[in-house]
Chain A
């Protein structure tokens, strides 16, 4: 049987045009909701157009017509066959008090791995500088870290009005953006089956360990804590959470202990990755503000005891937030699978 093409097009054109119009409306208003009648009508239009495409490809061939129907059906398919539910309206408070901490806890073992890698790197960096002080030159990423710690402390403490005083805002913005960029890199390197993230976390640990060892050896532990703790207790966990996301991505690509294919595994963690990296960015904004407006002031302007206490309080608050917030609420972490 060969289709009477002209008659067929004349008969079906209205259906195709109605489907096109409905889809265009949907595309222009993504948040619009369909009534039951509209949904049934859309489904009917989709199936009728599908049947038309089968007919036209089986019994006739008009390439342009086939192509236009395929395009129309592809658009309709996305709307009709979408199995994933539309999420409820986004709420900052729900995200902050439930989604982020729950997601963090759900993938806690990747955070622990991230922490372990950083500690391992720190031990390596500390040992390297401890046994060979000249190694500092190879490890330190910034020139000011090459200075003698005692000399730097003396300089900082004698400078009551630090050089950064007039550019705190700029400094803070630079810290936020740079750290966020590093965090995104830690996540993105998860695409190397996690190897890139492992290297990044280890290297960050090496730098941290080298600095700590250098200042401790010079007898400047109190200055170091007063300098690093206020912003470091937020900044370092933030980078670790980005690493957690990177390792989660790496594990999804590798697929240990999972019967799902790589597409399913990746699909199941996409929401978590976005939540973790967004949480990291929020923490880094706070860390950037503290580093620029608080950490750079030393004794006699701000007593070290006050800075250390402030840092420890921040750490306790962060630990409480990540481990306890949202534990009584429902699970809103958003991913389908918890196996990963």
Chain B
């Protein structure tokens, strides 16, 4: 199987059929083998029933039904886990993404990129509540994570399956997939996509998520910068605190001994607090290092096999030079 198309659906009963039809109409001419995976994220309307009707007739369509509403990221994670294709394309179930763009995504993957991200250049959404906050968020995400993506919120993305299946997807991390994937060393490309105004249903987003996005950003920043060496993250703050506290303590001791009339108790107390804080942070760093060491998750420890450009020398072998990746079969780089 060459391509899997993953579509999370939540209360999108009206979009199911048009979605399916546009996907089929867009992908059939590409003459590749593909499958469509609809994920019903605990909808309370007819979404599942309508998708099930379609699945009865089409062998390429699979429908995964959740017991309850789990959220967009888990829905995508489920689709990605169950996908069989070598390339996985995700798109929103609200018809705002255009399946006709899938072809250009596949071209970029063939050129050797691991992740291709859509960029809704001409976005059809409310300016004040959707576009402006999203602009700010994208700028911030780019600055903090060091992965400058113009449009993190666009669901239309294409991945090399071997890469995305190893990227941890949980909570509301779908907004940060490029940043998360960059931990593993993925090559990321951004292309412009079409965007349509919402035809059915209502948007499931609001402005209330700013605080959560900020905290997530802190998490991502820590993970991107320090996932392979967490101790450094904590000692970076811990050691200065430790040293500062020690210096302050020494000063307080000096003042006390030399009889200068200064509030020695307060000075030494502040020194003690920073000392304790620093020591706490450093030991937390050790703990974090242990967690990392004890876990078998190698996401942050080494690049994925599928991302390596491996060339085997010798007269018998030939490395393809058409820009696609040559997967080194059985070759262990470490």
A and B: real partners? no
Residues of B at under 8 Å CB distance from A? none
Residues of A at under 8 Å CB distance from B? none
